[in-house]
Amino acid sequence: MELENLLKQRGLKVTDQRKAIVKVLKDCNCMLSARDIFDKVKQIIPGVNFSTIYRNLDLMSRKGILCGLMVDTGVSLYGLHREEGHHHHLVCKGCGRSMAIDYCPMSSVEKELAKKGFSPTEHEFIVYGFCGSCGTSGRGE
Amino acid sequence: MELENLLKQRGLKVTDQRKAIVKVLKDCNCMLSARDIFDKVKQIIPGVNFSTIYRNLDLMSRKGILCGLMVDTGVSLYGLHREEGHHHHLVCKGCGRSMAIDYCPMSSVEKELAKKGFSPTEHEFIVYGFCGSCGTSGRGE
DNA sequence: ATTCAGTTGCAAATAATTTGCATTTATAAT
DNA sequence: ATTATAAATGCAAATTATTTGCAACTGAAT
């Protein structure tokens, strides 16, 4: 019921596909690619179309309901937007999950940017590696 | 002549297309997309093929002659590898140029990662914004 | 000069994402 | 409840970025 209000507040209609996308992300509690989300939503709504997924991931990200992340392979990952505010991510190369970290490097570079006359708008900080369960050796591919 | 040795050291043949790619990146002194590089190399070698560009960007990046960077639109940018070592980038949304910054946030998160049992392998830190010449307002597109 | 692995051009294939359009649907107004 | 309508969806086709198979070519070692 909470999601319904969130969507309405942002002027978005409450549709089954949007509810399914959010459910999938809530259940997984990690960030997923559009394809992963599509596959999981299909188990809930067999007839969903991929373009509906893409349109909603984009729209809900722009409305602050989801947040997107571009990883170094050029694929976007999406997750629920954390209200707690700004944060960055660890991406596990073993299981593909991502976790949040609160540390943000921006305050440490502000002076250097000002000196260069650069006005920052966005930034990203992503750490790739292996999480506790996947270990330093990874799990192959 | 320096490049020729660099290529040979890495077991790569010295070809006109490789020389042209490096020349383009040296002249621009910034990071460019594969398409930009292709367009500029074509002015030197009209017959180059796009796949040759891609193969060499990938190969020379893996050999440490170039370095690649995935920006948040999902496009890779390539530049000459700076021997001076590890660094990160500012990407101007006005002119598309990128500059290096030396600050690296990794040392500040090491403890937090260790606590989470996460073993980092790679990381990226990119700041988007507008450089001195493009100003805070940007220049449209 | 000969050899041969490495490299290139070409064309076709992938993969990720976007778009146009007709149909459907959630919501607001009746 | 019914209706009107803008928003949302499904579908198919288009884009964009990148990759791959393969035959022809070329740099470098002999």
Residues 105-124 of A with CB under 8 A from B: 105-106, 108-109, 112-113, 116-124
Which pLDDT score, from 0 to 100, does residue A1 have?
Answer: 65
**A135 CB near a chain B CB, below 8 Å?**
yes
Which pLDDT score, from 0 to 100, does residue A36 have?
Answer: 95
**Cα Rg of chain B, angstroms:** 17
B119 and A106 within 8 Å at the Cβ level: the answer is: no
Q: pLDDT tens across B32-77, in order?
A: 999 999 999 999 999 999 999 999 999 999 999 999 989 888 889 9
| Cβ proximity of B89 and A118 under 8 Å | no
Mean of the pLDDT values across residues A1-15? Answer: 91
Inter-chain contacts counted by CB atoms under 8 A, chains A and B: 124
Give me the domains of chain A, ranges plus CATH numbers: 1-81 (1.10.10.10), 83-141 (3.30.1490.190)
Query: Which residue in the set A74, A119, A129 is minimally distant from B119, CB to CB?
Result: A129
| A92 marked as part of a ligand binding site | yes
pLDDT at residue A78 tops 70: yes
Report d(CA B134, CA B65) in Å as an integer.
Answer: 30
A93-116: b (≥16 Cβ within 10 Å) or e: bbebbbbebebbbeeebeeebeee
**Closest chain A residue by Cα to residue B107:** A105
Q: Up-side HSE of residue A50: CA atoms within 13 Å toward CB? A: 5
